[in-house]
Structure 1
Amino acid sequence: MTGPVLRDVTLRDGLQLTGKPLPTERKIGLVRTLLAAGVPELEIGSLARGDLVPPLADTLDVVAGLTPEELERCWVWVATPRHVQKAVAAGARNVQYCFSVSDAHNNANIGRDTEVSLAAMPDAVRFALDAGGRIQLCLATAFTCPFEGPVDPDRVLRIVGDPRTEGSCDVIVCDTLGQAVPSEVGALVERVGEVAGGRRVGFHGHDTWGQGVANAMAAVSSGAALLDGALGGLGGCPFAPGASGNTATEDLLFALRPQWLSPAVLAGLVGAGEDLLAELGEPNRSRAAQGVRSRAEAFPWTAGPR
Structure 2
Amino acid sequence: MTEVLLRDVSLRDGLQLTGKPLPTGRKLALVRSLLAAGVPELEIGSLARGDLVPPLADTLDVVAALTPEELERCWVWVATPRHVQKAVAAGARNVQYCFSVSDAHNNANIGRDTEASLAAMPEAVEHALGAGGRIQLCLATSFTCPFDGPVDPDRVLEIVGDPRTAGSCDVVVCDTLGQAVPSEVGSLVGRVAAAGDRRVAFHGHDTWGQGVANGLAAVAAGATLLDGALGGLGGCPFAPGASGNTASEDLLFALRPSWLTPAVLAGLVTEGEDLLAELGEPNRSAAARGVRSTATAFPWTAGPRS
Q: Same fold (TM over 0.5)?
A: yes
Quick one: distance in 2 between partners of 1:69 and 1:236? 29
Confirm or deny: 8 A CA contact 2:81 2:123 kept in the other structure: yes
What TM-score results when the alignment is normalised by the length of structure 2? 0.99
Confirm or deny: 8 A CA contact 2:2 2:224 kept in the other structure: no
Instruction: Report what 1:128 is aligned to.
Output: 128
Instruction: Report what 2:72 is aligned to.
Output: 72
Q: Give the CA deviation at 1:194.
A: 1.5
Quick one: distance in 2 between partners of 1:202 and 1:246? 14
SS at the partner of 1:22? coil
Quick one: distance in 2 between partners of 1:296 and 1:256? 21
User: Which letter maps to 1:20?
Assistant: K
Deviations 1:43-96 (Å, cap 9, x if unpaired)? 000000000000000000000110000000000000000000000000000000
Instruction: Report what 1:217 is aligned to.
Output: 216
Identity among equivalent positions (%) equals 87
Quick one: distance in 2 between partners of 1:107 and 1:256? 36
Quick one: distance in 1 between partners of 2:88 and 2:140? 23
Q: How does 1:52-71 map to 2 (within 5 A)?
A: 52-71=52-71
Q: Give the CA deviation at 1:2.
A: 3.6
Deviations 1:196-250 (Å, cap 9, x if unpaired)? x200000000000000000000000000011000000000000000000000000
Quick one: distance in 2 between partners of 1:45 and 1:212? 22
Q: Give the CA deviation at 1:3.
A: 1.8
What TM-score results when the alignment is normalised by the length of structure 1? 0.99
Considering only aligned residues, what root-mean-square deviation do their CA atoms show, in Å?
Answer: 0.6
Quick one: distance in 2 between partners of 1:3 and 1:91? 28
SS at the partner of 2:49? coil
Question: Which aligned segments of 4 or more residues in structure 1 are displaced greater than 4 angstroms?
Answer: none
Q: Give the CA deviation at 1:178.
A: 0.1
Instruction: Report what 2:87 is aligned to.
Output: 87
SS at the partner of 2:263? helix
Instruction: Report what 1:156 is aligned to.
Output: 156
Instruction: Report what 1:23 is aligned to.
Output: 23
Instruction: Report what 2:49 is aligned to.
Output: 49
**Runs of 5+ unmatched residues, structure 1:** none
User: Which letter maps to 2:132?
Assistant: G
**Runs of 5+ unmatched residues, structure 2:** none
SS at the partner of 1:278? helix
Quick one: distance in 2 between partners of 1:178 and 1:83? 27
Instruction: Report what 1:106 is aligned to.
Output: 106
Instruction: Report what 1:253 is aligned to.
Output: 252
Instruction: Report what 1:302 is aligned to.
Output: 301
User: Which letter maps to 1:255?
Assistant: A
Is 1:228 aligned to 2:208, yes or no? no
SS at the partner of 1:203? strand
Quick one: distance in 1 between partners of 2:57 and 2:242? 21
User: Which letter maps to 2:198?
Assistant: R
Deviations 1:241-279 (Å, cap 9, x if unpaired)? 000000000000000000000000000000000000000
Q: How does 1:252-271 map to 2 (within 5 A)?
A: 252-271=251-270
SS at the partner of 1:45? strand
User: Which letter maps to 1:182?
Assistant: P
Quick one: distance in 1 between partners of 2:210 and 2:118? 30
Quick one: distance in 2 between partners of 1:83 and 1:142? 23
Quick one: distance in 1 between partners of 2:199 and 2:90? 26
